[in-house]
């Protein structure tokens, strides 16, 4: 006959064992902030098909690369460009010799409908009534780098630089514009395509010739705790199903 104390200890042991097993089967993904609107559907499908739990951390690509270089236990890094995963490769911490391009990003100009009453365009930003334009920090976020390059490419940077309001990453840039803290923002199409931003705002695509291509790169970490699952997840991202899900959220497929 089990005593209450023994039953309690057995329950506690079972709970700890379950938590340990859950931790052992969690795939940790470092994901660029532009993926926050689109990755959940892909993650859900992968979890359903594999039974594995994914823990996704969203931040600027620079922040995630720094965390990885400092020993953060991620399994996969999905960046918004190739330069930040390349830093991890150079440090000898990745399987790949070069980042795997899993999608191409698109830069757009987005504004609230109640802030801009004329047809939205890059030239509209020159109007004196436009005083605050959100962009991501180009030192941390590839889309911020693309935004600054686009302004230079279109001959607008010198005229607009005093209007620019810098955010930490592309998700925060979208928040600045959506909340009305700025009148508009240069953001990723993945952010602009969300239901919330579509309902309150409008966007136009920034001419692709104005900035270098945004090639979003991925790597599997060499000492990933869930290495085999990490490889499988990246394969899923590159599969027709994964590419379709990314394209539905505003990224351009690579295959």
pLDDT tens digits for 36-94? 999 999 999 999 999 999 999 999 999 999 999 999 999 999 999 999 999 999 999 99
pLDDT band at 111 (very low <50, low <70, confident <90, very high): very high
What order do you get walking across the sheet with 53-59 strand by strand?
Answer: 53-59, 26-32, 76-78, 214-220, 100-105
pLDDT of residue 232: 97
Q: What is the pLDDT of residue 4?
A: 53
Average pLDDT on 111-133 reads 93
**What pLDDT does 5 receive?**
53
Give residue 139's pLDDT.
Answer: 93
| Cα separation, 147 vs 136, whole angstroms | 8
146 close to 214: Cβ distance less than 8 angstroms: yes
Q: How far apart are the first and last CA of the chain?
A: 63
- At residue 255, the pLDDT reads 78
Nearest C-alpha neighbor of 135 from the set 104, 107, 113? 107
Give pLDDT, residue 101.
98
Q: How confident is the model at residue 10 (pLDDT cuts 50, 70, 90)?
A: very low
Burial of residue 76 (number of CB atoms within 10 Å: 0-12, 13-18, 19+):
buried
Residue range 91-114: mean pLDDT, rounded: 96
pLDDT above 90 covers a percentage of the chain that reads 87
Whole-model pTM: value is: 0.87
Q: What's the whole-number average pLDDT of the chain?
A: 91
Contacts 24+ apart (CB under 8 A), 81-88: 81/142, 81/145, 81/214, 81/215, 81/216, 81/217, 82/215, 82/216, 82/217, 83/142, 84/142, 84/217, 85/61, 85/217, 85/218, 85/219, 86/217, 88/219, 88/221
pLDDT grade for 18, boundaries at 50, 70 and 90: very low
Q: Are 219 and 96 in contact (CB under 8 A)?
A: yes
What pLDDT is attached to residue 9?
44
């Amino acid at each position: 006959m089990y005593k209450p104390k023994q039953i309690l200890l057995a329950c506690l042991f079972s709970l700890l064992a379950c938590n340990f097993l859950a931790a052992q089967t969690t795939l940790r993904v470092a994901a660029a902030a532009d993926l926050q609107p689109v990755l959940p559907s892909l993650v859900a499908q992968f979890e359903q098909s594999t039974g594995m739990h994914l823990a996704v951390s969203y931040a600027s690509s620079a922040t995630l690369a720094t965390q990885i270089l400092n020993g953060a236990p991620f399994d996969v890094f999905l960046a918004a460009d190739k330069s930040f995963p390349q830093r991890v490769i150079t440090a000898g911490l990745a399987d790949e010799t070069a980042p795997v391009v899993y999608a191409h990003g698109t830069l757009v100009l987005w504004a609230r409908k109640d802030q801009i009453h004329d047809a939205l365009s890059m030239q509209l930003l020159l109007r004196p009534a436009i005083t605050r334009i959100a962009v991501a920090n180009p030192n941390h976020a590839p889309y911020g780098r693309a935004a600054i390059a686009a302004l230079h490419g279109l001959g607008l940077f010198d005229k607009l630089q005093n209007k620019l309001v810098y955010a930490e990453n592309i998700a925060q840039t979208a928040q600045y514009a959506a909340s009305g803290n700025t009148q508009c923002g240069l953001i990723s199409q993945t952010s602009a395509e969300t239901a919330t931003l579509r309902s309150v705002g409008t966007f136009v695509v920034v001419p692709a010739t104005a900035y270098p291509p945004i090639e979003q790169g991925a790597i599997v970490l060499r000492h990933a705790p869930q290495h085999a699952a990490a490889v499988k997840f990246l394969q899923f991202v590159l599969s027709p199903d994964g590419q379709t899900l990314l394209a539905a959220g505003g990224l351009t497929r690579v295959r």
